[in-house]
Amino acid sequence: MASTFDSTLTSLGINRSTNTAATAASSSSPSIGTSDFLKLFTAQLQNQDPFAPVDNNQLVAQLAQITSTSGISDINSTLKAIQTKLGASSASDALSYVGRTVLTEGSTAYGRAAGGLAGAAELDDDATDVTVSIRDANGQALQTLSLGAQKAGTVSYEWDGKTASGADAGNGPFTVSVAAAKSGTTVSSRNLVWAPVASVALPSSGVPVLTVPGVGQIPVTAVRQIG
């Protein structure tokens, strides 16, 4: 029977799969595509015995198979196209970060051209007291900002660039830290700094990585806000 089946396929211009493993698993299930399936289906209709035609239920089942196969093929093609499009968009979006400033977690901040700096405190819970400490590169205390009671979330702050004595602190770099408490109990918090993006790395897998002066390399998912 296998030889007759192979001869039929050959006469129709269809090459049966020679995959040994697949043949061993199911010698009656050759690997054919949508086009080949249609050729077989048409040949079956043309060569059926008029006195013993193919059962209608079999025809419906075969049509259902080809519809399912064709549908899956179309879906796979569509998904591949979407994946390619999303990949290109992600790379383009990542490259657009270069030259812009981002708000991300960090302890090192540089002064603005106009003086002072802006940042934010990120709180995991409500706090009754939030303070921001600013030090110079040598660890010398420059200024302490009191933000008072704050709700959980992101709290922005501004520093005018002046020390506690009123002197100009310069352009930095500065070391900034946040402390938060709720009725004497420490609240988890972190400092967020604004910094420029110098370059972007696009790994073969995973998310793009940004190089941020003063902060280092961070995944694009670590960006809280874009300036």
- In whole angstroms, give the CA distance from residue 62 to residue 65: 5
Query: DSSP string spanning 7-41?
Result: HHHHHTT-PPP--HHHHHH-TT-----HHHHHHHH
Percent of the chain with pLDDT over 70: 61
pLDDT above 90 as % of the chain: 36
- Rounded to 5 degrees, φ, ψ at 200 are -130, 135
Strand partners, 130: 148, 180
Is 60 exceeded by the pLDDT of residue 9? no
Between 35 and 209, whose confidence is greater? 209
Domains, the chain = 2-93 (no CATH), 101-226 (2.60.40.4070)
Report pLDDT for 22.
40
- The torsion angles phi and psi of 118, rounded to 5 degrees, stand at -125, 150
Tell me the per-residue pLDDT of 51-86, one tens digit each, with 9 for 90 and over.
Answer: 666 566 666 666 666 666 555 666 666 666 555 444
Per-residue pLDDT band at 214 (split at 50, 70, 90): confident
At residue 204, the pLDDT reads 77
Q: What mean pLDDT value characterizes the chain?
A: 77
Q: Report residue 39: phi and psi, to 5°.
A: -60, -45
Question: What is the pLDDT, as a whole number, of residue 7?
Answer: 60
pLDDT at 20: 45
Average pLDDT over residues 199-224: 87
Helices and strands, counts by H and E, the chain: 4, 13
Of residues 64 and 215, which shows the higher confidence score? 215
Query: Angle formed by the axes of helices 56-95 and 34-47, to 10°?
Result: 170
Structural contact between residues 110 and 117, judged by C-beta atoms closer than 8 angstroms: yes
